[in-house]
Amino acid sequence: MTENDFRFTAITPLPAMGAVTWQSPSNIALVKYWGKYGNQMPANPSLSFTLSHCHTKTTLRYSKSETVGKEIEFDILLDGVAVPDFKPKVAQFFERILPYCPYVGQYSYTIETSNSFPHSSGIASSASGMSALALCVLSIEREMRPEMTDDYFYDKASFLARLGSGSACRSILGPLVVWGQHTDIPNSDQLLGSVYPFEVHEVFANFQDTILLVDKGEKQVSSTVGHGLMNGHAFAKARFEQAPKNISALTDILKSGDLDGFIALVESEALTLHAMMMSSHPYFILMKPNTLEIINAIWAFRKETGIKLCFTLDAGANVHLLYPKNVAGQVLTFVSDTLAAFCKNGEYINDEVGLGAKQLA
C-alpha cells in the first residue's frame, strides 16, 4: 500500500451529524517496536498478540461545524469527565489524519471514552484508545462510501491508528498482528498492521496474558521520548537488524509450537527493550525492584514445575505473564500465592488473546 491509497478525495454530501461507537483492545508485542522515523514509520517490524479484556470503548459524536477551516473543535470525556490532558494527543491525531480524511475538518466532536482497566494502571491506553478513535472516524467515511470493502476499512483504520500511536495499528484485528515490512511476510507493511498470515500451532490459541500491575501511574518516559532515544543510539543498528531476525525465528516457533523457543525469544525481546533504555542517553531504568522479584520468581517456578510460563515487558515496570490456557489453573494459583505480593495493592488483570475491535453502535 502507499499513502495515496488512503486519501479520500471524493466530493460527496457529508452526513450532518451522527454517532458511532467502537470497542478496541490493547495488544502486547512479542517482538517490540522501539524506534521510529518520519511520519510514524517503525524502525523495525514488530509482532503482537491482540488482547481481549483490556479495551477502550469510544463513542464519537459528530456534527457539522460552523467554524470550518479553523482548528478542529472537540471535547473529550473519560468516564463522563472532561480530560483536557488528552487533548494535545487527540488534536495531533486529527491534524495527522486530515490529509487522508479531509471531512474530519468539517465537523466538531464529542469523544466519550472509557477503559475496561483502571486509567492509572500503567497499562498503555494509547493503543486501544487511538485504534478505537480511528475506527470511529473511518465509520463516518464508510457512511459516505458504502461500497468500501472490509479489507480496505481495516487497512485504513490501522493506517490512521498508526498516526495516532504506532502500536495502535496492531489493535484493529487479531489474534497475531505484524506491523512493519518484513522480507518473509507477504503484505507486511510499514504503513499498517496486518493479520499474521502463517500457520500457528494450537498451543498458541487462547494464549493467556496476566498483567501484573507493579507500578501504577504516570509513565516515567513518554513513548515519543522513548523512541527518540534510539536516534543515535550506539546499539540501534544491531537492534534494528535483530528484530526482523527474531520475527523469522518466531515464525518457525509459532508453527511448530516450540514453547521453549517461544520463551527464550520473548523474554530476550523484553530484556533487550529495557537494555536499549538503560544504554541510551539519557538512560532510564523502567523496571522496579518488584519487576525483578517477579522475573526471578517466574524463572524459579519454571525450573521447579516445568510449566511453560514466560514474561514480557512494555516500556514500564508491569509484567505480562504469557502462558498456554491448559496451565491456567496452576499459573493463577502461583500468581495469587506468590506474585500478587509484588503488585501494587495486590492487583493484576487476567487477559487472553482476542480477535480485535468490535463496532458497538
Chain contacts with ligand DP6 (rule: CB under 6 A)? 29, 32-34, 40, 46, 124, 126, 165-167, 223-224, 227, 273, 314-315
Question: In terms of CB distance, is 25 or 62 closer to ligand DP6?
Answer: 25
324 alpha-carbon distance from chain centroid: 21
Question: In terms of CB distance, is 193 or 324 closer to ligand DP6?
Answer: 193
Return the residue nearest ligand DP6 (CB atom): 166
Q: How far apart are CA 356 and CA 52, in angstroms?
A: 7
Instruction: Quote the least distance from Cβ 221 to ligand DP6, whole Å.
Output: 10
Question: In terms of CB distance, is 222 or 336 closer to ligand DP6?
Answer: 222
Furthest CA-CA distance within the chain: 67
Instruction: Please enumerate in sequence order all residues whose Cβ is within 8 A of that of 256, keeping only pairs 6 or more positions apart, or say none.
Output: 201
Instruction: Quote the least distance from Cβ 317 to ligand DP6, whole Å.
Output: 12
Q: How far apart are CA 179 and CA 33, in angstroms?
A: 9
Instruction: Quote the least distance from Cβ 333 to ligand DP6, whole Å.
Output: 29
Instruction: Quote the least distance from Cβ 124 to ligand DP6, whole Å.
Output: 6
Q: Within 13 Å and on the Cβ side, how many CA atoms surround 296?
A: 7
Q: How far apart are CA 361 and CA 354, in angstroms?
A: 20
Instruction: Quote the least distance from Cβ 33 to ligand DP6, whole Å.
Output: 3
Instruction: Quote the least distance from Cβ 274 to ligand DP6, whole Å.
Output: 10
Question: In terms of CB distance, is 166 or 324 closer to ligand DP6?
Answer: 166
Instruction: Quote the least distance from Cβ 354 to ligand DP6, whole Å.
Output: 16
Question: In terms of CB distance, is 21 or 291 closer to ligand DP6?
Answer: 291
Give which of 47, 50, 51 is closest to 185, Cα–Cα: 47
Question: In terms of CB distance, is 140 or 177 closer to ligand DP6?
Answer: 177
